Amino acid sequence: MPNPVQISGLNYAYGEGEMRRAVLRDINLSIGAGEIVLLTGPSGSGKTTLLTLIGALRAMQQGDCAVLGQQLLGATEDQRVLLRRRIGFIFQQHNLLGFLTARQNVAMSLELDPASNERDRLTLAGSMLDAVGLADRADAPPSQLSGGQRQRVAVARALANNPGLILADEPTAALDRVSGQEVVHLLRDLARSRGVPILLVTHDPRILDIADRIVEMEDGRILDDARSRA
Amino acid sequence: MNQVSRILAAAPPAPADASLARRLGNALLPARLAWRQLRAERARLWTAIAGVMFACVLVFMQLGFRSALFDSATALPQAMEGELFLLNPMTTAMFKPEQFPRVRAFQTLADPDVAQAVPIYLSFATWRNPETGVRRTIQLIGFDTETGAVAFPGLADVIEALKRPDTIAFDRKSRPEFGDVPRLLAERGPFEAQIGDRRLELVGLIEIGPSFGADGNAVLSETNFRRIMGQRRASNTDLVALRLRPGADVAAVTARLRQLLPPDVAVVSHSQLIAWERNYWESATPIGFIFAFGSLMGLVVGLVIVYQILFSDIASHIPEYATLKAMGYAHGYLRRAVMAAALTLAVLGFIPGLLTSMLLYEFVAEATFLPLEMDWDRGITVFALIFSMCAGAGLLAVRKLRDANPADMF
């Protein structure tokens, strides 16, 4: 069984010619099954770019990057779209659709399966909301939920279709300490119980405790993996 | 999470046809997403519907007026009675006929199925307004009063009087510049009118209606026509109406006459004669263009409104759309959602637009006497135009989706 994420010799640069600016240099990183990895480092260190590359949201330029068995170097747009369906994303902003209820938002991640039906989707979405403690708010629109509740809906949405990997970018940035803690602990517990690995980019020192391993980046490189806590 | 896996495991395997229905249902998911998004912004939705409706009403009115004007322009050929007609192939419209030998009418009688051949003479002369004395050009329609090949409303009442020398009947729908003849006739009874340099007795009224070519009409017998148009060659005519024997095969007679007659006449059916006249006004004059242009303006305004609504709907949901893309929704899915929104607006705007147009048709028909009527053909045409308009707006708005780039989401 290969690692869910296996990266070696990854380089990435923005711009062309004179304007070319390298943001990732010789990245080597692997995430094992069920592993929770935190990616930290100053702004501009390239961690977000790395996350978008692993999430197949951006085309690779150079190096080797296999995610859930899909080689991303030279992957087509269609291959990348298919891979994204197997990854759960959690963003800094919840980005829930305002015109849908919490339950409908979660069901959106299930509608991608052409063989699913509406009733099963809504039932499953309901039990996902139950799992994040929002059973009673399932039919509320996002505008009637607190920030922490919205981010929990986003967690439910990311986990609903049984992803093989969770990618999260500063999920606590818009939340206060208590709800931030709640959200990441929820995320950790749900992922643990299903054996889903997590790669989480954060600046937030209050949530470092959930990590199996902390990877630090600076200036486009990964610093020595010295502070592994596993 | 065990709960979740239990639900998944508990779902019974679906039979094949249910799965097909399910797939079809899932194919409509982009449309449902579009509808939910439209419905969420009521003010925007109403604006869009009003925009489509406005375009719809404008196009309906333009097409309605166009058709009504063409109908009134073909009032003269419509009033003719006959299964077949002969005319000079170079004739473009009734108000400027090319003449052809009258003998062609008599040649057709060689065919056993032709019962009557009636030459009709068309010409213009000056009419002196009996109230003001101002002269104005009027169209004269001369024919053999014995045959009944021409049937204008009111003609039956005056047909006997028209057989007398120097008599004429006046079209009561002629433009008012010709004088209020109906009133004068009611006050004085038959009176003397001046046509060209001749005095004729005005014996009654018939009804044809002005066309683009002629502001007013008067009918008279063949003999009286010749007396006014003394300079015209009596052996030439402008139009010949043929009456066939009952049960004759019109197509077969047409083919035989085509063989029989030299190429200086065209043989056409009644509907072809009307289409001939209509075609002139539609294609050889700017009238058709003006109404087409008016319709186009309506469609452009509608397109801009629908585009604006769809564009701002997309623009205000860029992060959400990018999130959907990150979740694995293909660009095509979102494109389908936008197109579905556009086409939903087409339907939602068309229905009130159609109803409003029907009311307006009734109102305008009462006010102007133009024959405005809603028919299926026009309804379908306008729906197709509105549908294309919304699809066009959708295609323009879809480009904005490119801004929803999931890589910018982090």
How wide is the angle at C-alpha A32 spanned by C-alphas A29 and A35, nearest 5°?
105
Instruction: Let me know if residue A178 belongs to a domain.
Output: yes
B3 contacts in chain A (CB < 8 Å)? 127, 130-131
User: How many residues are present in chain B?
Assistant: 410
Would A67 be classed as within a structural domain? no
A152 lies in a domain? yes
Give the whole-angstrom CA distance, residue A201 versus residue A40. 6
Distance from CA of A1 to the nearest CA of B (A): 23
Contact B250, B259 (CB under 8 A): no
Does residue A106 fall inside a structural domain?
A: yes
Query: How far, in Å, CA of B151 to CA of B153, rounded?
Result: 6
Which of B320, B407, B409 lies nearest to residue A97, judging by beta carbons?
A: B320
pLDDT at B141: 93
Tokens standing for A186?
Answer: 């929820």
Three-state DSSP state, A222: strand
pLDDT of residue B14: 46
| Closest CB from B3, B11, B409 relative to A127 | B3
| Cα B221 to Cα B225: distance, rounded to the nearest angstrom | 6
| Shortest distance, CA A58 to any CA of chain B (angstroms) | 6
Low-confidence ranges of chain B (pLDDT < 50): 1-14
What DSSP assignment string belongs to B219-243?
EEEHHHHHHHTTTS-TTEESEEEEE
**How far apart, in whole angstroms, are the C-alpha atoms of residue B226 and residue B218?**
14
Query: Residue A188: how many CA atoms within 13 Å on its side-chain side?
Result: 16
Contact A124 B320 (CB under 8 A): no
Does an H or E element contain B326, and which? helix B318-326
- State whether residue B109 is helix, strand or coil: coil
Residuewise pLDDT in 10s, chain A (230 residues): 688 999 999 999 988 888 888 899 999 999 998 899 999 988 888 888 999 999 999 999 999 999 999 999 989 989 999 999 999 999 888 789 999 999 999 999 998 887 788 889 999 999 999 988 899 999 999 999 998 899 999 999 999 988 999 999 988 888 888 888 888 998 999 888 888 999 999 888 888 888 899 999 998 899 875 444 44
In terms of DSSP bridges, do strands B114-128 and B217-221 run parallel, antiparallel, or are they unpaired?
unpaired
CB neighbour class for B50 (10 Å; exposed up to 12, middle 13-18, buried from 19): middle
Contacts of A9 (CB under 8 A, 6+ apart): A26, A27, A28, A62, A63, A64
Catalogue the E-assigned strands of A151-192: 165-169
Domain span holding position A45: 32-58+76-227
| Torsion angle (degrees, nearest 10) of CA A186, A190, A195, A199 | -40
**Closest-CA distance of chain A to residue B325, Å:** 8
CATH number of the domain encompassing residue A223:
3.40.50.300
User: What are the chain A neighbours of B320 within 8 Å (beta carbons)?
Assistant: 95-98
Supply angle C-alpha B56, B58, B59, rounded to 5. 65
Comparing alpha-carbon positions, the chain B residue that sits nearest to A187 is B1
What is the predicted pLDDT for the residue at B410? 63
Inter-chain touch A112–B8, beta carbons under 8 Å: no
User: What amino acid is encoded at B351 in this protein?
Assistant: I
**Is residue A27 situated within a structural domain?**
no
Instruction: Count the domains in chain A.
Output: 1
Instruction: Using DSSP, state whether B288 is helix, strand or coil.
Output: helix
Domain assignment present for A18: no
Min Cα distance A224 → chain B (Å) is: 25
Q: Which residues 22-51 on chain B approach chain A with CB closer than 8 angstroms? A: 22-23, 25-26, 29, 36-37, 39-41
The three-state secondary structure class of A98 is coil
pLDDT at residue number B17 = 59
Contact B8 A96 (CB under 8 A): no
pLDDT the model gives residue B10: 41
Query: What is the residue type of B33?
Result: L
The token duo for B205 is 């009224």
A84 with B327: Cβ contact below 8 A: yes
Contact (CB<8Å) B320/A95: yes
Which of the residues A79, A87, A117, A166 would you substitute to probe the B interface, choosing the one with the greatest number of B C-beta atoms within 10 Å? A117
Q: In this complex, do B330 and A81 lie within 8 Å of one another by their Cβ atoms?
A: yes
Interface of B with A in 107-146 (CB under 8 A): none
B21 to chain A, any CB pair closer than 8 A? The answer is no
